[in-house]
Structure 1
Amino acid sequence: MRTTDVARESGYSAQQVRDLERLGVIPPAVRSDNGYRSYTPLHVSALRAYRGLAAAAEPVEARRLLAELRTATVTEAASAVDEVHARLARERAEVLRAQRALEGIQAEGAGWDDDFMTITQLAQALGVRSSTLRFWEEEGLVLPERVTTLRARRYGPAAIRAARVVVALRAGGYGIPAVREVMACLDGADGLADARRILRERLDRIAARSVALLRAGADLAAVVCAADGTDGTDAADATRGTPDPPA
């Protein structure tokens, strides 16, 4: 197969095919006497597999994984791909846990918001360290009041509610910058509704990544079988004619 043939079959441009070969996503092409590249259907399978892996696990991870699959046993390769599925499942579980926590905040808020709490009391109630609450204060996520001449922290209803939301979002896999964005939404009228919307959007993105990995399944099998010395082209044929997702 010529470079243009592989590009047409894989959905990449000819330049992208050459670039991905250089990056090690696909094995080096055989060079003819006149210097032209000669590819096989396995190169197409590797490129199509990379598309799904890159969507599911990020391009750098996809390149690393494909390089491993080309020299792994079937058992090793299956374990590596299963781990990508498991990682997506863990991310989904974290977001669902955060959703349930937000629902609990809304349903039980009155019980929490009646009183003020010290930093020690709030840390114990949330199951975090006092140093964590101080860090969140430094990041502008949870702002307590200062009382007494010792400037001791006191958390009122708004700060307690904010702390509970931060705990939920952190449990959902959100980094501090993303949490800060959500917390800004809480100042508006729709507060918790906006936070739940952001979590739903994260679930949608995880679902899209899962589907991309499923689409790559037969082509991954072809790469793995070729590495193991068996013929995996039949598995890859199962996806032929299926429109590729955007690069």
Structure 2
Amino acid sequence: MDETRSDSQRVPLRTVDVARESGYSVQQVRDLERLGVLPPAARSSNGYRSYTSVHVHALRAYRGLAGAVGPVAARQLLTRLRTESLEAAASAISTVHVGLARERDEALRAREALRAIRQETSGPGFEQEGDAMTITQLGAALGVRPSTLRFWEQEGLVGPERVTSLRARRYGLPAIRAARIVAALRSSGYGIPAVRDIMTSLHRLDGLEETQHVLRRRLDEIAVRTVALLRAGTDLAAVITSAQDPPLA
């Protein structure tokens, strides 16, 4: 282990020191330790907590992760990073990046679907033969379960075509476009009634404009979360590498 890093990790820090360095309050530091965001602090002979720079890195990393994936997932991930191998920990962080990239791709596809609907409202539309998906294929493309698509169908949000002989669902381009928009709206926090209202209004100019604003906000929100994750990069690396070091004597 690097001698300089070892020395910095040995320097004891008080709770107030960790709070000042991390930007959290003293009570928040204690609460986050209790929740498992921090590794347990050592206790001095008089019972006071004794922290190190690793705890500061963990708190800073938590702020970025919470901004990227939410506080619950961030707590779970930090616990994993302290207990898994270097390869597994690095893979876990990569998975977060991949997840954000997929969310962005789906939002962009939803925006393209909206543009196609806009073109259909201003001129003759068209559908390419053979461009259809089964419920399993569409669910995989959107990252949702087939049961979710069935629920959307029950709620009047997405209307698939049906193969008469087997009653199997077949989603043509209009249904695929609608499903992409519904998925983006649900990911943005819209409830089923609000999504239904928006989907009903899509063939009106005001509905198209409102949905376009929603998707723009969705893309902006994903960008903010991605930047939060990037800012946490150095601190996440410190948490991961510190977990690979043998305990300090």
Identity %: 58
**Deviation readout 1:176-215 (Å, 9 max, x if unpaired):** 6252353365486521111111001000000000000000
Tell me, in whole angstroms, the C-alpha distance in 1 between the residues paired with 2:72 and 2:213: 29
Q: 65, 69, 89: which one pairs with 1:77? A: 89
* Map of 2:138 onto structure 1: none
Amino acid in the other structure paired with 1:32: S
* 3-state SS of 2:186 partner: coil
* Map of 2:243 onto structure 1: 227
* Map of 1:65 onto structure 2: 77
8 A Cα contact 2:185 2:215, kept in partner: no
Q: Does 1:192 align with 2:204?
A: no
8 A Cα contact 1:97 1:171, kept in partner: no
Distance apart, 1:229 and its partner CA = 1.3
* Map of 1:233 onto structure 2: none
Amino acid in the other structure paired with 1:183: M
The correspondence of residues 91-170 of structure 1 with structure 2, limited to 5 A, is: 91-109=103-121, 110-112=123-125, 127=133, 136=152, 138-141=154-157, 166-170=178-182
* Map of 2:41 onto structure 1: 29
Tell me, in whole angstroms, the C-alpha distance in 2 between the residues paired with 1:91 and 1:52: 18
Which sits farther off after the overlay, 216-225 or 167-176?
Answer: 167-176
8 A Cα contact 2:113 2:178, kept in partner: no
* Map of 1:180 onto structure 2: 196
**Deviation readout 1:62-85 (Å, 9 max, x if unpaired):** 111111111222211110000000
Which sits farther off after the overlay, 187-196 or 97-106?
Answer: 187-196
Structure 1 outlier segments of 4+, above 6 Å: 131-134
* 3-state SS of 2:208 partner: helix
* Map of 2:61 onto structure 1: 49
Distance apart, 1:3 and its partner CA = 0.7
Amino acid in the other structure paired with 2:99: R
Tell me, in whole angstroms, the C-alpha distance in 2 between the residues paired with 1:55 and 1:134: 32
Compute the RMSD of aligned alpha carbons: 3.1
8 A Cα contact 1:185 1:194, kept in partner: no
Tell me, in whole angstroms, the C-alpha distance in 2 between the residues paired with 1:72 and 1:141: 42
Tell me, in whole angstroms, the C-alpha distance in 1 between the residues paired with 2:238 and 2:213: 39
Tell me, in whole angstroms, the C-alpha distance in 2 between the residues paired with 1:41 and 1:81: 21
* 3-state SS of 1:111 partner: coil
Which sits farther off after the overlay, 207-216 or 185-194?
Answer: 185-194
* 3-state SS of 1:12 partner: coil
Q: Does 1:212 align with 2:236?
A: no
**Deviation readout 1:118-175 (Å, 9 max, x if unpaired):** xxxxxx986466x9998556425479xxxxxxxxxxxxxxxxxx96763231353636
Amino acid in the other structure paired with 1:203: L
**Deviation readout 1:86-119 (Å, 9 max, x if unpaired):** 0000000000001011111111344349xxxxxx
* Map of 1:14 onto structure 2: 26
Q: 1:6 to 1:136 in 2, by over 3 A?
A: closer
* 3-state SS of 1:190 partner: helix
* Map of 1:237 onto structure 2: none
Amino acid in the other structure paired with 2:108: L
Q: 1:212 to 1:185 in 2, by over 3 A?
A: farther
Q: Which runs of 5+ in 1 are unaligned?
A: 114-123, 144-161, 231-247
Tell me, in whole angstroms, the C-alpha distance in 1 between the residues paired with 2:211 and 2:134: 21
Distance apart, 1:35 and its partner CA = 1.3
Q: Which runs of 5+ in 2 are unaligned?
A: 1-12, 136-146, 160-173
Amino acid in the other structure paired with 1:220: L
Distance apart, 1:23 and its partner CA = 0.6
Tell me, in whole angstroms, the C-alpha distance in 2 between the residues paired with 1:208 and 1:132: 27
